[in-house]
Chains A and B, each alone.
Chain A
């Protein structure tokens, strides 16, 4: 047992559901107790989705405990098949089904006899993998299933497209700034004259998966989800893939050079150096920005970085290599990816922290007292408590991380966004610091004199109970309630405010 208040990565089934519900016309059925369909709320609220989330539960209740699911799961699968006519139904195990050890594969086999849809059992174990590993595996599993199916039916066409083309593996729901990142990648590919063969899984149909081998290569922008699929396609069809995250101008250039290498290997004879040069020096503002005077002030400032391995590594590289900021420690909660992370940023920071214990992270932040933090929503809250500015660079996500405006982290526009994020975090911190030195806003007294209560009001007494009640009211409306109550008491010619008077005033104000 582990005492835990907070976790960076969710349970395995969330990963499976993220993949399944990213595809078009795929329905996931969770084998889970009532209340475990919380995923639907997250998708509907965080991403503000207009469609019903294609996830339902085959509810595990007392009867199921006593007698087993029996026909229930099979019936639920065929019912969804008739109601929604999906291409694929993914039966999703949860922590509960992991311990019930029912033969879910058997249900899948039986159900698929009578359904139009394909039926798959997600191959994930709750106690062995987390959200990201499960998502990675589920995507591979679905891709593999449809490739094999096409091979069996002799529908698989592996001839490459005439023009250079790419599959982007890594568009999902509930991922950090993902929609914008994918748009930016599409723009980058079109600049490089590379056709998009397929983008999976968000918005993709499972029917188009058999076309994946037609692309010249794959690009996997995030390490957490998609690598297994890319490796499978490499083993099966010898498709090269690029796993360099194009985040920051330096890494974006690296990524583009790798693309160039692959294309030239296939006799495309391209040279992207000029493009990189123009983009870096003129189109993207961030390279010039880091040379500008403002940025000089950031030199040697202490920062710490924490997040998933993709974003934490990329951010560490940007801070050190592009901005001259001193990263005291960089860390990730993707413990299974430790060696990669160490290899990537080992030389760029003083120390590496691999943990999923948020208490430890909090302590380490307090100890170092950095000038700025780049982390997840959790670090943002630690930062608030310690009064340190913080930029959010990685999941776990929050509704604020689904901005309406265009905010990629990848590509050249992403580099601009990140530069803004870094700079704004620092100036805010600096502003705060200067305010403290000069004793705060000088308008304070003027403001409070103008807005304060009529001095006559304060002659009214509050008894002990009502005073206690007043302190329980949240700070931001307390003043208003105090004024209203005193006004009410004055009108009623009362001298002391009791609990009764408070409530009467509330009712009167209605």
Chain B
């Protein structure tokens, strides 16, 4: 990493306690990223090459979305595909031509699954040939449950996108982009990566504009045909904590310089994120402190609800470190941060901010458990009795039935949580079970079951 000194990482290792358990935990399969990516990239089509198991997961996890003519489908493998009686190339060609005819997308994403890994289907090899034959770009991402958890699916897709050669832009476009304009400081191009809803893209872009920083492009863009130009020496910065492969790809393959910053989640994170970008471009941040204060002022009511309360992250979507840091700043005590995978380099600045936050709030740094074991965690939850457990749906109802407040973790993935404007959404989510229980007080919070 270009901008985080290795020395600091060494220091971190001593101070934060990292542990690794058995990896027996519940999370979504990474192919779920098609759910938000097909909506984000409007001219795309996602073809998940897998089995009925994958299809059943998508169908059930994505609920109603499936009926709105989604731009994704399964290429369901049959016995003939597994035993190689059918030609992968011919089969994929047939399906992709059908997709092209019916939907006319600008790009087809192939999502490789566990099955294509095990039978070693050469998707990366087939794609360029087929791409030429049907004259439609094909991007291959291996988002499988053998290697990745939930949001890391987006990472594999964006990493694949980052490797695509620069799109052909209309000639005058570079002039438009580089045209000096009022209010912007002159700096090297900055490209932000991470899929977030368009309103949030606008919000963060405007936030940087206030500091005179121009965002040259986003990966991904709204349309595949609008992919940003990425050139050697450009600066890149991530908005989501689970994008380490994308970051690596941009640095190694595209020779970009990564700005290692905390992530713009919570007013503290957003300010630190902007400040870090400003520092890199040698800009003195303007009015950020006031902006952060104003947001905290608006969060007062929510903060009063959670101040001094404890929270336990079981871990399933890699947003955990950033959320925990924001919640500690809001006055909560974090017992445990479970996380599927911890990239100490990519998340370096975020870990430092966590450390700093704990120091300032004068509380011990929570233990970070990589690849947690849900069974052991439930044991610890029983002992610790936290005020709130952030967890997946497999555990939420059983924990509630045992008198433990839960918040379903997947909502943080689908809600708008980035930037100053949306800090309130995070606390809305976190306080919802607490607010609900205040209202239900009269019914009582005794245990509803004592089995198992």
User: Can you identify 24 A-B contacts, CB atoms within 8 angstroms?
Assistant: A1-B76, A1-B94, A2-B75, A4-B74, A6-B55, A6-B66, A14-B56, A32-B145, A33-B146, A36-B53, A37-B394, A38-B29, A38-B57, A41-B60, A44-B396, A44-B398, A49-B398, A50-B397, A51-B398, A51-B449, A52-B395, A99-B82, A472-B199, A506-B421
Q: Quick one: which of B61, B67, B72, B81 has the most chain A CB within 10 A?
A: B67
What separation, in Å, do the CA atoms of A3 and B86 have in the docked complex?
Answer: 15
Interchain CB contact under 8 A, B114 and A381: no
Indicate whether B203 reaches chain A with its CB closer than 8 angstroms. Answer: yes
Instruction: Apart from A35-B27, A62-B147, A472-B199, list 5 A-B contacts with CB within 8 A.
Output: A35-B150, A38-B61, A40-B394, A126-B51, A381-B67
A1/B78 in contact, CB under 8 A = yes
B15 CB-CB contact with A under 8 Å = no
Within 8 A of A (CB), among B44-59: 49, 51-53, 55-57, 59
Q: How far is the CA of A73 from the CA of B118 in the complex (A)?
A: 19
Complex: how many Å from CA A405 to CA B210? 56
CB–CB B76/A2 < 8 A: yes
Instruction: Tell me the smallest distance from the CB of B252 to a CB of chain A, in Å.
Output: 22
* Chain B residues in 8 Å Cβ range of A507: 295, 298, 420-421, 424
A68 to chain B minimum Cβ distance, whole angstroms, is 12
- In this complex, the member of B25, B81, B114, B395 whose beta carbon has the largest number of chain A beta carbons within 10 angstroms is B114
Whose C-beta in chain A lies nearest to the C-beta of B396?
Answer: A44
Query: Which of B30, B49, B55 touches A35 (beta carbons < 8 Å)?
Result: B30
Given the complex, which residues of B lie within 8 Å of A381, measured CB to CB? 67
- Cβ–Cβ contact A503 & B206, under 8 A: yes
Are A1 and B53 within 8 A (Cβ)?
no
* Contact (A95, B115) CB under 8 Å given A2-B78, A11-B53: yes
The reply to whether the CB of A57 lies closer than 8 angstroms to some CB of chain B is: yes
Known A-B contacts A37-B394, A60-B146; A11 and B378 likewise in contact (beta carbons under 8 Å): no
The 7 closest A-B pairs by CB, nearest first: A35-B29, A33-B145, A50-B401, A40-B394, A11-B52, A1-B91, A95-B51
**A6 with B27: CB separation less than 8 A:** no
A424-464 vs B, Cβ < 8 Å mask (1 yes, 0 no): 00000000000000000000000000000000000000000
Residue of A44, A84, A96 near B393 (CB, 8 A) is A44
- Residues of A in contact, count (CB < 8 Å): 56
Contact A6 B51 (CB under 8 A): no
Residues of A within 8 A of B66 (CB): 5-6
| A33/B114 in contact, CB under 8 A | yes
Give bound CA distance, A46 to B277, whole Å.
Answer: 45
The residues of A that contact B203 with a CB separation of less than 8 Å are: 503
Hey, which chain A residues are within 8 Å of B130, CB to CB?
none
**A500 / chain B contacts, CB cutoff of 8 Å:** 206
With A45-B393, A48-B397, A499-B206 as contacts: A4 and B55 at CB distance below 8 Å: yes
Inter-chain contact B146/A10, CB cutoff 8 Å: no
Please give, as numbers and ranges, the residues of chain B lying within 8 Å of A61 by CB-CB distance: 23, 146-147
B19 proximal to A (CB < 8 A): no
Determine the distance from Cα of A314 to Cα of B144 in the docked complex, in whole angstroms: 42
> Chain B: which residue is nearest A72 at the CB level?
B22
Chain B interface (Cβ within 8 Å of chain A)?
A: 23-30, 49, 51-53, 55-57, 59-61, 66-67, 70, 72-79, 81-82, 86, 91-92, 94-95, 98-99, 114-115, 117-119, 144-150, 198-199, 202-203, 206, 295, 298, 375, 378, 392-398, 401, 420-421, 424, 448-449, 451-452
Chain B nearest Cβ from A262, distance in angstroms: 37
> Would you call A59 an interface residue if the criterion is a C-beta within 8 Å of the partner chain's C-beta atoms?
yes
List the B side residues contacting A10 at CB < 8 Å: 52, 56
Q: Do B75 and A34 touch across chains, with their CB atoms under 8 A apart?
A: no
Cα distance A100–B115 in the bound complex, in angstroms: 9
Smallest CB–CB gap between B212 and chain A, Å? 15
Q: Restricting to A5-55, which residues have a CB under 8 Å from any CB of B?
A: 5-7, 10-11, 13-14, 32-38, 40-42, 44-45, 48-53
Q: Which residues of B contact A506 (CB under 8 A)?
A: 421
Task: Determine which of B29, B375, B394, B448 lies in contact with A34 in the assembled complex, contact meaning CB atoms within 8 Å.
Answer: B29
Indicate if the CB atoms of B451 and A60 lie closer than 8 Å: no
Asked if A83 is at the interface of the complex by the 8 Å CB criterion, the answer is: yes
User: Contacts A34-B145, A61-B146 known; A96 to B78 CB distance under 8 Å?
Assistant: no
User: Known contacts being A35-B27, A41-B393, is A126 close to B206, with CB within 8 Å?
Assistant: no
Minimum CB–CB distance from B103 to chain A (whole Å) comes to 11
Contact between chains at B56 and A7 (CB < 8 Å): yes
CA distance A35 to B61 in the complex (A): 11
Distance in angstroms from A79 CB to nearest chain B CB is 9
B95 close to A1 (CB less than 8 A): yes
Verify A42–B397 contact, CB threshold 8 A.
no
In whole angstroms, what is the CA distance A127 to B50 when docked? 12
Q: Is A309 an interface residue (CB 8 A)?
A: no
A41 to B63, CA, bound (A): 13
Known: A3-B98, A5-B74, A11-B56. A34 touches B27 (CB 8 A): yes
Kindly list chain B residues whose C-beta atoms are within 8 Å of the C-beta of A2: 74-76, 78
Are A44's CB and B397's CB within 8 A?
yes
Interface residue from B24, B82, B448 paired with A57 (Cβ < 8 Å) = B24
Interface pair A59/B398, CB less than 8 Å apart: no
Q: For A130, list chain B residues within 8 Å (CB).
A: 52
Asked whether any CB of chain B lies closer than 8 Å to the CB of A510, the reply is yes
In the complex, how many angstroms separate the beta carbon of B69 from the nearest chain A beta carbon? 9
The reply to whether A3 and B82 contact each other, CB–CB distance below 8 Å, is no
Question: Contacts A35-B27, A35-B28, A95-B51 hold; do A3 and B118 have CB atoms under 8 A apart?
Answer: no
The answer to whether A100 touches B26 (Cβ under 8 A) is no
A173 within 8 A of B: no
CB pair A99 B115 closer than 8 Å: yes
Judge whether A198 is part of the interface by a CB distance below 8 angstroms.
Answer: no
Cα A128 to Cα B79 with chains together (Å): 8
CA distance in complex: A316, B147 (Å)? 48
Interface residues as binary, A150-187 with B (CB distance below 8 Å gives 1, 0 otherwise): 00000000000000000000000000000000000000
Taking the complex as formed, is A477 at the interface, i.e. its CB lies under 8 A from any CB of chain B? no
Complex CA gap A2/B51 in Å reads: 10
